[in-house]
Structure 1
């Protein structure tokens, strides 16, 4: 698995970016669906107050970072799906038999997925401006971008690890949806974890998405909207990204070219 080929990483990154830009339906879906969620939930639950959330934080401000984490989570799953699609058309075999280190293939996939995930989140964030959301500062936007890249990397690594164990897109999609929806609803994206029963709440505390979304709230809304210190959020996201990427790379290194 050793060795890095910058040219191979760049080529895979550029390919993923081109595929994203050319997929018009994916662009529209990325922008419209989360914006509908923000509009309907944000206005529908306008005035709702949670005991663990300061009164000055509106539900819209609470919701938008959660939606961004939600988008990032499902965007990252496309990376594993893309690997399986490439296997079906024969492109993956061409990559695996090429004189390119497997590490570079994994890093190229992660770079492409993280970039497209950041673009998707940027589209959604720009759309939330239409419904009244305002980031607290420019520096907060930059910090939010770092959290989004960290979350994308963590779940892309998870997606690659799963894709390395599957040979068809149907099985992968079933398992991913079975895992991702509980992760999304046990992350505090739509409501505080403190509202859940204690036994379920502890599952949420083990969920890296919980800390990514909390960090996004701190970056976009302010420290008053967070549950944990920002350094804790950043450390958990970085740790999760490191572990999933290493596991994904290790499993991907054992994928057969045939």
Structure 2
């Protein structure tokens, strides 16, 4: 007699190697370790950890990224203080402190994005792209890594606040740290937009250098925003970095006694038609810019090969 056939997928049945598994016989979606969301979160953590290890092991990069901000703060700031001593007595090192924090984050965040170009050149990026994770997870992981590294560099400058005449007030330090974190995120996202489509490191470095210094000088980090020519005033207002430097400086001045002769010149922030932009709106502009740039970088990586 012939044994009765046993339906595939019932207890006691034997499925031949390589045969298709019946629908529903695999791991339950949302419960197994291979759920797409869990894979993406694991990928973000791994990419973030890799970026931090790469930065910690590169001591030359850590030291070099601090050299130029300190040069601006103590050399340029001290020199300019002598020039403006007769116009109110404002210490330019104090005035430039917020801009120097932004400069430190600017260099570190933008150059953190170069790692994606290196990964593309050496073939590691292709290995990540074929992994069973969404490409958004790769961009987010790298962006978070650059944000943490850039914030750490800004924290080092914050530790030198006393040398620039800025008081060590816990509330002020926390506010500046939070604003540095937000700025670092936006700048890293900007660097990712430039890096995801670049094929060579030299091209990326050239592009970064072309944008870095104009963004810095047009943010009001070095000179006051009051009484500027119309064309220069427009450029400072369309520069996203201006909306991060101004809240930092206003937070510093809130804990200082500004010399009466320099208050009108050095404490004027960004204005739209005579209306001073509030801090919450400035920080919102930085946050929206960062999120928009991050989305743009994700979209570009999805279209890349």
* TM-align CA RMSD: 2.4
- Structure 1 residues 163 and 32: CA distance shift in structure 2, 3 A: closer
Alignment deviations for residues 58-82 of structure 1 (CA, whole Å, 9 cap, x no partner): 3221101101111111211113211
The two structures have a TM-score, normalised by structure 2, of 0.76
Q: Provide the residue aligned with 1:245 in structure 2.
A: 294
Say which is worse superposed, 197-206 or 3-12, in terms of deviation. Answer: 3-12
Aligned to 2:303, the other structure's residue is in SS state: coil
State whether residues 73 and 96 of structure 2, in contact with CA within 8 Å, keep that contact through their aligned partners in structure 1.
yes
Aligned pairs for 1:207-246 within 5 A = 207-222=239-254, 225=267, 227=269, 228-246=277-295
- CA shift, 1:165, in A, is 2.2
Alignment deviations for residues 154-188 of structure 1 (CA, whole Å, 9 cap, x no partner): 12111111112211111111122112221111110
Q: Provide the residue aligned with 2:149 in structure 1.
A: 116
Q: Distance in 1 between matches of 2:116 and 2:227?
A: 38
State whether residues 107 and 212 of structure 2, in contact with CA within 8 Å, keep that contact through their aligned partners in structure 1.
yes
Alignment deviations for residues 193-220 of structure 1 (CA, whole Å, 9 cap, x no partner): 3354211220110111001001111233
Aligned to 1:208, the other structure's residue is in SS state: coil
The two structures have a TM-score, normalised by structure 1, of 0.89
State whether residues 80 and 159 of structure 1, in contact with CA within 8 Å, keep that contact through their aligned partners in structure 2.
yes
Q: Distance in 2 between matches of 1:252 and 1:196?
A: 40
Higher relative contact order (CA closer than 8 Å, sequence separation 6+): 1
Runs of at least 5 residues in structure 2 that lack an aligned partner in the other structure: 1-35, 259-266, 270-276
State whether residues 184 and 209 of structure 1, in contact with CA within 8 Å, keep that contact through their aligned partners in structure 2.
yes
Alignment deviations for residues 74-101 of structure 1 (CA, whole Å, 9 cap, x no partner): 2111132110011112211111111111
Aligned to 1:193, the other structure's residue is in SS state: coil
State whether residues 30 and 124 of structure 1, in contact with CA within 8 Å, keep that contact through their aligned partners in structure 2.
no
State whether residues 110 and 153 of structure 1, in contact with CA within 8 Å, keep that contact through their aligned partners in structure 2.
yes
Is 1:24 the counterpart of 2:59? The answer is yes
Match of 1:67 among 85, 90, 100: 100
Runs of at least 5 residues in structure 1 that lack an aligned partner in the other structure: none
Aligned pairs for 1:5-44 within 5 A = 5-44=40-79
- CA shift, 1:3, in A, is 5.3
How many residue pairs align between the two structures? 252
Q: Provide the residue aligned with 2:215 in structure 1.
A: 183
**Considering only CA atoms, is the larger Rg found in Structure 1 or Structure 2?**
2
